């Protein structure tokens, strides 16, 4: 699941430049900081609990304020879907004929190979991750910050609203503003 988080946040950071943002920092997980690595000039912080992540960006000076910004949050959802489809493909490939989840989730009790059970759990977790990011809602993150899910951010950007947050000393605070980007 750490790999899923890293790929999800890396997709945000990669697409952010094309969508008119400059990535400032990538946070993977919550809790105590384990280590930080520099990825293409962007610090990536890894925390103890591999639950959630955040790609901190700032609008690039002179970048157009248009609906293209919706691609930034959509990149994470698309990555989650791609990983889900890869896991489904592996599950179908290694368990042909009986593609119920029960044999996969049994952790080796039904199938002769324990790894099929782990694959089943990964499949379920990735599905929950995909749906959790797709559903438009607010997520309570670290420091009590309410962050819009990727699905909600896509809707906000498509409706012409900017999603803006203020970050002080590496800690996120509440949204600063939500303003119209253009007139429909």
* pLDDT tens column, 107-120: 445 556 666 667 77
CA distance 153 to 151: 5
8 A C-beta contact, residue 80 and residue 149? no
Q: What is the pLDDT of residue 181?
A: 41
Q: What is the pLDDT of residue 118?
A: 78
Q: What is the pLDDT of residue 119?
A: 79
Q: What is the pLDDT of residue 90?
A: 83
Does pTM surpass 0.95?
A: no
Q: What is the pLDDT of residue 180?
A: 39
Q: What is the pLDDT of residue 68?
A: 87
Exposure class string for 109-148: b at 16+ Cβ within 10 A, else e: eebeeeebbebbebbeebbebbeebbeeeebebbeebebb
Q: What is the pLDDT of residue 184?
A: 37
Q: Which residues of the chain have pLDDT under 50?
A: 107-108, 166-184
């Amino acid at each position: 699941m750490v790999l899923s988080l890293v790929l999800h946040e890396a997709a945000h950071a990669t697409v952010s430049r094309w969508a008119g943002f400059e990535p400032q920092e990538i946070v993977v997980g919550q809790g105590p900081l384990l280590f930080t690595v520099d990825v293409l000039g962007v610090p990536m912080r890894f925390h103890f609990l591999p639950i959630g992540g955040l790609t901190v960006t700032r609008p690039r000076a002179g970048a157009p304020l248009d609906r293209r910004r919706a691609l930034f949050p959509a990149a994470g959802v698309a990555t989650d879907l791609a990983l889900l489809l890869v896991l489904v493909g592996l599950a179908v490939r290694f368990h042909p004929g009986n593609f119920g989840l029960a044999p996969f989730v049994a952790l080796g009790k039904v199938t002769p190979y324990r790894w099929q059970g782990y694959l089943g759990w990964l499949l379920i977790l990735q599905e929950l991750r995909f749906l959790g990011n797709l559903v438009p809602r607010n997520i309570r993150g670290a420091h009590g910050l309410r962050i819009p899910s990727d699905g909600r951010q896509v809707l906000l950007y498509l409706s012409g609203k900017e999603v803006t947050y203020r970050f002080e000393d590496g800690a996120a605070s509440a949204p600063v503003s939500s303003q119209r980007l253009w007139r429909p």
